[in-house]
């Protein structure tokens, strides 16, 4: 089937400021004679006074060259005053094209690319050759002076987002000649084209995070196939501490082990309110694992689903089992653990196609979905980067693919059954598999859209809380079809036994959240609380604005760390936004350059928070040549931290702000006062971190300067503060602080020592005032869920 829609400029458009001797195109603010809503395609023979500008084969922004040697077959379609689509044409029609866009040199750039079929990681660089294959977001900044040290904050940011152009999915890549290229592919040899005029969205701006936000708003409106995070319903489990069974048991998960894990967490004072029963509960079979024969690594990915029900570990099949600890069925077990341990949410795991190897063809419980054995085929781009064991094995063993016409029926039956078993939601894994089996099924874009719509419809039908966590779905096929799903895993798995991946995990999620965080809440995955890198992971999740859940083996917990994340009632202090790298970290490599620390910023209701991490020396990014070796025993690294690292701080500073901030170090327990634009030095060893709460110092009545810090015993101290009000007259002043979380110490900056203090209307509560740094502390009584502190001056 040949799909070759021809795009060409309208005759009227060609008459606008046309000079046949110049090849010029521009778009941006200040456009003359062009309606920003136009959908016409403009060739390089047009001139409109604006920025960026494409003139004589050079794309420039504010007079700075971004792309040179732009080929003649490149076309540009204006979209808004500052943005456009870029694409290209070919003389031949095929299902996969690689087009050149032009040469990139002398910039600072950040790529987010898929190093495996399922997962993205970041890459920084200065030229086109630094852009990896399968790049899904490219952010760059033009050089301001003769060297990169001369780059100023005012230099504009340019964003390239490869998107979905009809039935074709696009990605970016560089080549050895420093040329930026884009690849478009349908995933089906029968679906071909000779043109892709809207393959790459380009936008520019002076604020990188505003640029991402506004760009995704433009694309959301233009395509209508996905929704932004801020418009989606957030699952309730995000605000409660959870436990996942995966690293505790792997596929050996069983009811008694789950009981023991929930019990030990509860007894330690950090009760799990959210549970994921991961892989291992389903009714599956595996012809590649034969009893009595040695286990073959990877054979687990050949397993297929027999039915939508639970396996025999979670239900009794004989009278003898009825006398054991095996429940009669999944419903009895879920109801039991909810009642005994106060669980609010129980999710279970399943793959997008049911299981790793899909459905078992012709099985009694699956044949109604008409599954057929298909052997996945990866695109050349994926094969360029890193091989993946799961994908390699699925290529070898095949997958029992659900008939697309039956996919909603499958999800409807599965989720309907789970709801009948008292299950509250699902974690849906292995989502990117669709792009590898799309031949003869309409291509990867269409197939993903069909499955995603069926999945989200079923979730909305059966679960009342938008209760889905998406996983292994970082391809733009999935991202740009995420209409309702609100949570997506933002990194490769947490690997507790691999010391080289701990720092990579934290850095990857932070950078991936720049892009993913506009569409979903990035999920940071589970971690072990008793581990060499436990505090590193815990602090990252405290500033990540994400759900928090561990995968500890029963009884193997570090409650000192957990109690810095989890309140006694099982809730967490989740920050408002996805945690992202600070602006001065965007174009540095915090894992391998040997000098840079990683800073992650976020906001709470009344303050900001910055986590700073030494990720250097422990591991190496995959798919990197000419590696700079960083020894694990390297000296401490130092970096600058400033309140200005927190974007959108004006949202919490409000009225009466002095311009100064109270900065509290969780690790050192010290408080300092700092103007917003000043910085201080932090020194960390490998795998060390700190979390700084940054609160605006405001002037209240009687010239009292005050800033609430929050619960000093929590990593994200400021997340506990809900509201601050002031009451009084000329002779007195009362500051009221409302917050949540008990059994801790509330801290604040106060220019004066209060005369009295009360907590929840109990007068004369004791408090301490440290004059050397103006730290005021108030003890919150145990078993207090929320509190109202009144300070009298």
**What does the angle CA 544 – CA 550 – CA 556 come to, to the nearest 5 degrees?**
140
Give, as one character, the DSSP assignment of residue 68: B
**What does the angle CA 677 – CA 681 – CA 682 come to, to the nearest 5 degrees?**
125
Q: Strand pairing partners for 511?
A: none
The model's pTM: 0.93
Whole-number Å distance between alpha carbons of 79 and 58: 20
Closest CA to 197 of 343, 9, 323: 9
Give, as one character, the DSSP assignment of residue 576: S
Closest CA to 441 of 480, 399, 398, 404: 404
Straight-line distance from the first to the last Cα atom of the chain, in angstroms, rounded to the nearest whole number: 79
- Residue whose structure tokens are 């502190």: 789
Whole-number Å distance between alpha carbons of 218 and 78: 12
Are 514 and 545 within 8 A, CB to CB?
no
Whole-number Å distance between alpha carbons of 571 and 271: 9
Q: What is the pLDDT of residue 763?
A: 73
Angle between helices 255-267 and 330-341 (to 10 degrees): 10
Are 539 and 579 within 8 A, CB to CB?
no
SS3 state of residue 671: strand
How many other C-beta atoms lie within 10 A of the C-beta of residue 680? 13
Question: DSSP letters along 421-433, please?
Answer: TT--EEEEE-GGG
Length of the chain: 793
SS3 state of residue 387: coil
Kindly state the helix (H) or strand (E) to which residue 695 belongs, with its residue range.
strand 689-700
Kindly state the helix (H) or strand (E) to which residue 277 belongs, with its residue range.
strand 274-277
What is the four-CA torsion angle of 207, 209, 214, 215, rounded to 10 degrees? 100
How many other C-beta atoms lie within 10 A of the C-beta of residue 379? 19
Q: What is the pLDDT of residue 149?
A: 52
CB contact set of 178 (below 8 Å; sequence gap of 6+): 103, 104, 105, 127, 128, 129
Whole-number Å distance between alpha carbons of 354 and 476: 22
Q: What is the pLDDT of residue 11?
A: 29
Kindly state the helix (H) or strand (E) to which residue 88 belongs, with its residue range.
strand 83-94
Whole-number Å distance between alpha carbons of 103 and 32: 28
Whole-number Å distance between alpha carbons of 69 and 67: 7
Q: What is the phi/psi pair of residue 645, to 5°? A: -65, -20
Q: Where are the domains of the chain?
A: 52-224
pLDDT beneath 50, residues of the chain: 1-50, 150-151, 630-633
Q: What is the phi/psi pair of residue 518, to 5°? A: -80, -20
SS3 state of residue 107: strand
CA 760 vs. chain centroid, Å, equals 38
Are 744 and 712 within 8 A, CB to CB?
yes
Q: Which two tokens stand for residue 148?
A: 């990169």
Give, as one character, the DSSP assignment of residue 634: P
């Amino acid at each position: 089937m040949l799909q070759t829609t021809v795009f060409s400029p309208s005759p009227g458009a060609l008459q606008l400021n046309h000079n046949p001797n110049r090849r010029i195109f521009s778009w941006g603010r200040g456009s003359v004679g062009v309606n920003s809503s136009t959908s016409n395609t403009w060739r390089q023979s047009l001139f409109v006074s604006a920025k960026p500008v494409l003139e004589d084969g050079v794309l420039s922004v504010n007079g700075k060259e971004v792309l040179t040697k732009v080929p003649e077959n490149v076309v540009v379609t204006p979209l808004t005053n500052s943005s456009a689509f870029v694409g290209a044409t070919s003389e031949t029609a095929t299902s996969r094209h690689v087009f050149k866009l032009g040469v990139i040199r002398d910039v600072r750039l950040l790529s987010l690319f898929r190093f495996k079929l399922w997962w993205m990681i970041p890459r920084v660089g200065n030229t086109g050759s630094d852009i990896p294959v399968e790049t899904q977001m490219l952010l760059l900044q033009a050089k301001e002076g003769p060297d990169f040290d001369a780059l100023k904050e005012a230099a504009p940011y340019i964003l390239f987002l490869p998107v979905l152009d009809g039935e074709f999915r696009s990605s970016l890549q560089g080549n050895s000649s420093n040329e930026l290229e884009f690849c478009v592919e349908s995933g089906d040899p029968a679906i071909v084209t000779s043109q892709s005029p809207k393959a790459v969205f380009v936008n520019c701006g002076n604020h990188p995070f505003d640029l991402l936000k506004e760009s995704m708003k433009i694309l959301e409106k233009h395509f209508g196939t996905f929704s932004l995070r801020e418009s989606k319903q957030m699952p309730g489990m995000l605000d409660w501490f959870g436990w996942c069974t995966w690293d505790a048991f792997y596929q050996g998960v069983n009811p008694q082990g789950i009981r023991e894990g929930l019990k030990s967490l509860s007894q330690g004072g950090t009760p799990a309110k959210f549970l994921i029963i991961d892989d291992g509960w389903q009714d599956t079979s595996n012809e590649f694992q034969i009893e009595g024969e040695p286990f073959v690594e990877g054979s687990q990915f050949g397993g297929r689903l027999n039915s939508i029900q639970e396996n025999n570990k979670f239900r009794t099949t004989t009278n003898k089992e009825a006398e054991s600890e095996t429940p009669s069925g999944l419903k009895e077990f879920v109801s039991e653990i909810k009642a005994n341990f106060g669980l609010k949410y129980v999710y279970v795991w399943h793959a997008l196609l049911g299981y790793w190897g899909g459905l078992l063809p012709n099985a009694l419980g699956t044949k109604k979905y008409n599954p057929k054995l298909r052997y996945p085929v990866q695109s050349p781009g994926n094969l360029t980067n890193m091989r993946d064991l799961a994908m390699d094995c699925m290529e070898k063993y095949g997958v029992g693919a659900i008939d697309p016409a039956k996919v909603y029926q499958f999800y409807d039956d599965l989720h309907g059954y789970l709801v009948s078993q008292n299950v509250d939601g699902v974690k849906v894994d292995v989502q990117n598999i669709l792009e590898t089996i799309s031949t003869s099924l309409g291509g990867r874009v269409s197939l993903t859209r069909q499955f995603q719509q069926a999945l989200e419809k079923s979730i909305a039908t059966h679960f009342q809380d938008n209760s889905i966590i998406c996983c292994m779905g970082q391809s733009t096929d999935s991202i740009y079809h995420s209409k309702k799903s609100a949570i997506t895993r933002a990194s490769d798995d947490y690997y507790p036994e691999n010391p080289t991946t701990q720092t990579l995990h934290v850095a990857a999620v932070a950078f991936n959240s720049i892009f993913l965080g506009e569409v979903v809440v990035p999920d940071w995955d589970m971690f072990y609380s008793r581990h060499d890198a436990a505090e590193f992971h815990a602090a990252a999740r405290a500033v990540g604005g994400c759900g928090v859940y561990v995968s500890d083996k029963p009884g193997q917990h570090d409650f000192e760390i957990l109690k810095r994340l989890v309140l006694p009632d099982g809730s967490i202090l989740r920050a408002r936004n996805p945690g992202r790298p600070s602006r001065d970290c965007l174009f540095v490599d915090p894992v391998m350059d040997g000098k840079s620390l990683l800073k992650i910023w976020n906001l709470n209701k009344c303050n900001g928070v910055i986590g700073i991490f030494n990720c250097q020396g422990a591991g190496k990014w995959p798919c990197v040549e000419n590696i700079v070796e960083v020894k694990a025993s390297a000296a401490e690294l130092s970096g600058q931290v400033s309140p200005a690292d927190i974007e959108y701080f004006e949202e919490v500073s409000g009225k009466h702000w002095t311009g100064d901030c109270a900065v509290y170090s969780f690790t050192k327990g010290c408080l300092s006062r700092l103007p917003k634009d000043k910085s201080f030095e932090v020194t960390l060893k490998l795998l060390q971190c700190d979390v700084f709460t940054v609160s605006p110092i405001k002037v209240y009545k009687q010239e009292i300067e005050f800033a609430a810090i929050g619960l000093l015993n929590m990593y994200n101290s400021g997340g506990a503060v809900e509201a601050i009000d002031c009451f009084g007259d000329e002779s007195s002043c009362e500051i009221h602080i409302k917050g949540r979380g008990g059994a801790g110490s509330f801290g604040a900056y106060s220019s004066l020592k209060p005369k009295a203090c009360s907590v929840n209307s109990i007068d004369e509560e004791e408090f301490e005032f440290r004059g050397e740094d103006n730290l005021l502390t108030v003890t919150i009584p145990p078993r207090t869920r929320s509190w109202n502190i009144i300070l009298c001056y």
